[in-house]
Amino acid sequence: MRQAAIWSGVWALLADGVGAGRAAGGGLGAGNRSEDRGGQGGDRVGMSVPLVVDAGGGSGGFAVPIAAAGYPVTVVDPSPDALAALRRRADERGLGDRITAVQGDLGDLRTLVGDGRVDLLLCHSVLDVVDDPSAALAQALRVLRPGGALSLLVAGRAGAVLHRAVAGRLDEALAVFGGEMPRVPRPARRFCVAEAIALVQTAGGEVLDVHGVRIFADLVPGERLADPRVAESLRRLELAAAGHEPYRNFGAQLHVLARRPGDTSTHSHKGTHRRKDTFADVEAERAVPTGGTGAS
């Protein structure tokens, strides 16, 4: 539930862009649990399977559900412990043959995977901790085929300031606002929406969309979320606000959907979700929803 906006974007990429003509899938927010799409994708007879790579995929929080949906995933991560946990998780789910675990970091990606081959590259919560995120991303993007898709997750700065302020940690809020990370070694780096967009563009990627993740979730008292109706309302609120200013800038994380420029044939057809052909199209439609009475 806390990651509903991320999963919406990932499934949309697989269904609409990466998997076009290759794999099945629905639109935004489909499925009972947002990470659960059960047995689609590569299970489809007669369809070739997209190559999915999860760089810094850790113990498989994203790779395992994607594999469970039928897409083989290669996880590249420098941590042997994380990879061991990944293998255990994959085996427990009977997905051992769909997940390949490779030890290495972002700098090894091109050697390990090869240039221009990958249909979907996940890079979640990794650029927050590398020394030069722009250079690392530029190298990583080289493994994508032209038109291949990137799912990038970075830590949000505005959300971190807000959450600390609401918790009464005002000095910390002020420090994070100023770009410091007191008493918190990781993530070493946080981004606002404009910085995340600039990061991808500087690295040579074409931004398709940006969502805020956990805009409200960390602000709702935990005991309220024990009520399934409240949890469902929160899930719907997160999804509704994820793509809209000013809300998305307050996400604890920012999810950027992008692609490597090149062939766009698998990304520009009329899809099942609201992603447009260019980021400019999306931003042109971006507005604060004005539904309801207008009362605050």
Ligand X SMILES: C[S@@+](CC[C@H](N)C(=O)[O-])C[C@H]1O[C@@H](n2cnc3c(N)ncnc32)[C@H](O)[C@@H]1O
Q: Does 58 bind ligand X (CB under 6 A)?
A: yes
Residue 61 in the binding site for ligand X (CB under 6 A) = yes
| Nearest CA among 106, 127, 124, 122 for reference residue 53 | 122
Closest CA to 3 of 242, 279, 249: 242
Q: Which of 26, 27, 78, 204 binds ligand X (CB under 6 A)?
A: 78
CB of 170 to ligand X, least distance (A): 27
Residue 79 engages ligand X in binding (rule: CB under 6 A): yes
Which region, judged by CB under 6 A, interacts with ligand X, from 72-80, 203-211, 229-237, 279-287? 72-80
State yes or no: residue 62 binds ligand X (CB under 6 A).
Answer: yes
Among 105, 115, 206, 245, which residue interacts with ligand X (rule: CB under 6 A)?
Answer: 105
Quick check: 206 and 260 in contact, CB under 8 A?
A: yes
Which residue number, 109 or 215, has a Cβ lying nearer to ligand X?
Answer: 109
- With CB under 6 A as the contact rule, which of the stretches 41-49, 78-86, 200-208, 211-219 interacts with ligand X? 78-86
Interface with ligand X, residue 7, by CB under 6 A: no
Cα separation, 16 vs 13, whole angstroms: 5
The identity of residue 153, as a single letter, is L
Structure-token pair, residue 259: 């692609």
Site string for ligand X, 113-142 (x = CB under 6 A): -----------xxx--xx------------
Q: How far is the CB of 109 from ligand X (least distance, A)?
A: 8
Helix and strand element counts for the chain (H, E): 10, 7
Output the six-digit token pair for 193.
Answer: 């929406």
- How many positions of this chain bind ligand X (CB under 6 A)? 17
- Kindly list the residues in this chain that would bind ligand X in the complex (CB under 6 A): 55-58, 61-62, 77-79, 82, 105-106, 124-126, 129-130
